[in-house]
Every structure is written in C-alpha cells, then in structure tokens.
Amino acid sequence: MLTLIRNTNTTLCAGCPDTVVITMPDLSPYRAGDVMTCSSDGYPAPTYEWKVDGVVDSTTSTQALQEGVHGYECIATVTDGLTCSWADSRTETAYGK
C-alpha cells in the first residue's frame, strides 16, 4: 500500500494487487463454457484481463473455459496515479458439452 499525504486536505492512496486468485467451477471434470473467476486485493478496484494461450480473450473478472487444453492467465491492474499489475495463471482441460 502506498500512501502520499500532501497536506491535511489531500490524500492519495493506491494499493498494487498483492494477490490474484483464480477460482475454478465447483464441478470437475470441467466442461467448455464453465466459468472461472478472477479476484484481487488491489485498491481502487482493479480491472481484469484474461489471456487464453497468450491472446486477450476477456476484460471482465470472469472467463469461460474453452474446449481442450489451454493456458489461462488473469491480470489484475490498478491505476490511480500509478499503474501496477499482478497475474496468476494455470493450464486447464475442458471437455465438450
């Protein structure tokens, strides 16, 4: 957490994400279309970007699993006077529905 106090009237707080967590669906084996969720502790609330096999696929906190074996990366970014990011990744297999 970075805190800058300029005077008693102005305070700037920005917190880079310390953690990024990918939460998987409850049921396994996973199916194409099942949804993963990304969360982070950054402040202010971070924006999210999902990459599937290195290609941007989503800019929300959720990502649908694609059929087959794929690498998924969630990147949380906080921008408030400075920009910082943190990421988590995993490889998952999803079967056709």
Domain-by-domain residue ranges, the chain? 16-95
* Residue 46 exposed, middle or buried by CB count within 10 Å (0-12, 13-18, 19+): buried
What confidence score (pLDDT) does residue 4 get? 41
What confidence score (pLDDT) does residue 26 get? 92
What confidence score (pLDDT) does residue 14 get? 61
Residue 37 near residue 62, CB atoms below 8 Å = yes
Give 10-residue mean pLDDT values along the chain (97 residues).
45 72 94 97 93 97 98 95 92 92
Phi-psi region of 53 (alpha: psi -120 to 50; beta: other; left: phi over 0): left
What confidence score (pLDDT) does residue 9 get? 46
CATH fold label, 16-95: Immunoglobulin-like (2.60.40)
What confidence score (pLDDT) does residue 53 get? 98
